[in-house]
Chain A
Amino acid sequence: MNIIKQDHKPDHHTGERSRRIQYLSPAVDVETTQEGYLIRAEMPGVDKSGLEITVENGELTIVGHRQDVRLPGDVVYREITRNDFRRVYELGPEIDASKISARIDQGLLTLSLPKAEKMKPHKISVE
């Protein structure tokens, strides 16, 4: 499978070091289906308004900004990293970028990446 390659070194070569933000890489499952690909990314603390999904130059970028939740009192114990999420995928030519759809439910982002019609396998009937 050649489609989705991943870049996990964001902004490394662009000289943006000074304003680079530490992102967290979300846990992701990628599934292949008849129609294309299905990406499920875990982004707890992110709601619809905190999502930024962009396709540019054949790259799909998923950014999830966490909501700023203020809780009463002081922290006694901390394990949760409050950084925003980011992940970049290179899209294969068979994916129809205009048909990518996304939804988020309880911090789980589901992205559907359908293949372009002409790229789908089809049967050729013999006359």
Chain B
Amino acid sequence: MNIVRYQRYPQNDFSFAFDRLANVHEELDRMFESTLGSTFRQFGTLNRWTPAVDVYQDKDQFTVVAEVPGLKKEEIEISLHGDMLTISGERKAQQKEGEQGFRSERFFGKFQRSLTLPSLVNPEKVKASYQDGLLQVVLPKAEEAKPKQIPVSLS
């Protein structure tokens, strides 16, 4: 199976380098619990985030889980092109009038994540739910992708 981190903008070497830098800063942030990297996230191409996903499979279906806390149902979009599932949306900043940021670690703005499923699914039967900040997409496999048992009779 092949899962590609989605890139919203075509990448050139420069922005790639900056992305790497932002990632390093994110890791540093986690290590030191500071917000070094926030400066780097201000730049346009860096101003997107990708939610973490898990993929499960049994013989009938795939289940994709994505961590997208604090959204409204309407803010999440799910699309399927062939065997490629895309989860996208936008988290709007919540800061209200009179509030002043003191520490910010959360990501805002657009997010998008695409993943290629290991086999074809039945697009008619895809179901999604959103609870406790977890998006769960259930994708039943297409009939032809299901494993088949071939009975062999002995004569």
Q: Which residues of A contact B (CB under 8 A)?
A: 1, 4, 6, 8, 25, 27-34, 37-38, 40, 42-47, 67, 69, 71-81, 105-108
Question: Do B55 and A27 touch (CB < 8 A)?
Answer: no
Question: Do A29 and B104 touch (CB < 8 A)?
Answer: yes
Which of B33, B99, B133 is close to A107, meaning CB atoms less than 8 Å apart?
Answer: B133
Least Cβ distance of A70 to chain B in Å?
A: 10
Least Cβ distance of A89 to chain B in Å?
A: 10
Question: Do A44 and B1 touch (CB < 8 A)?
Answer: no
A74–B61 CA distance with the chains assembled, in angstroms: 11
Question: Do A32 and B102 touch (CB < 8 A)?
Answer: yes
Question: Do B56 and A107 touch (CB < 8 A)?
Answer: no
The majority secondary structure among interface residues of chain A is loop
Task: For chain B, residues 38 to 61, give those with C-beta under 8 angstroms from any C-beta of chain A.
Answer: 52-59, 61
Interface presence of B10 (CB below 8 A): no
Interface presence of B151 (CB below 8 A): no
Question: Do B133 and A42 touch (CB < 8 A)?
Answer: yes
Q: Chain A interface: which of B15-23, B63-71, B120-128, B142-150?
A: B63-71
Given A43-B133, A106-B71, A31 contacting B58 (CB threshold 8 A): no
Task: For chain B, residues 61 to 112, give those with C-beta under 8 angstroms from any C-beta of chain A.
Answer: 61-63, 65, 67-72, 94-95, 98-107
Interface presence of B36 (CB below 8 A): no
Question: Do A106 and B63 touch (CB < 8 A)?
Answer: no
Question: Do B132 and A44 touch (CB < 8 A)?
Answer: yes
Taking each of A31, A78, A81, A105, which has the highest tally of chain B beta carbons within 10 Å of its own beta carbon? Answer: A31
Q: Which residues of B contact A74 (CB under 8 A)?
A: 56-58
A77–B57 CA distance with the chains assembled, in angstroms: 9
A78–B33 CA distance with the chains assembled, in angstroms: 24
Question: Do B68 and A28 touch (CB < 8 A)?
Answer: no
Least Cβ distance of A113 to chain B in Å?
A: 11
Question: Do A80 and B133 touch (CB < 8 A)?
Answer: no
Q: What are 30 A-B contacts with C-beta separation under 8 Å?
A: A27-B105, A27-B107, A28-B105, A28-B106, A30-B103, A31-B100, A40-B94, A42-B133, A43-B69, A44-B68, A45-B133, A46-B132, A71-B56, A72-B58, A72-B61, A73-B56, A73-B57, A73-B58, A73-B59, A75-B55, A76-B57, A77-B54, A79-B52, A79-B53, A80-B53, A105-B70, A106-B69, A106-B131, A107-B132, A108-B69
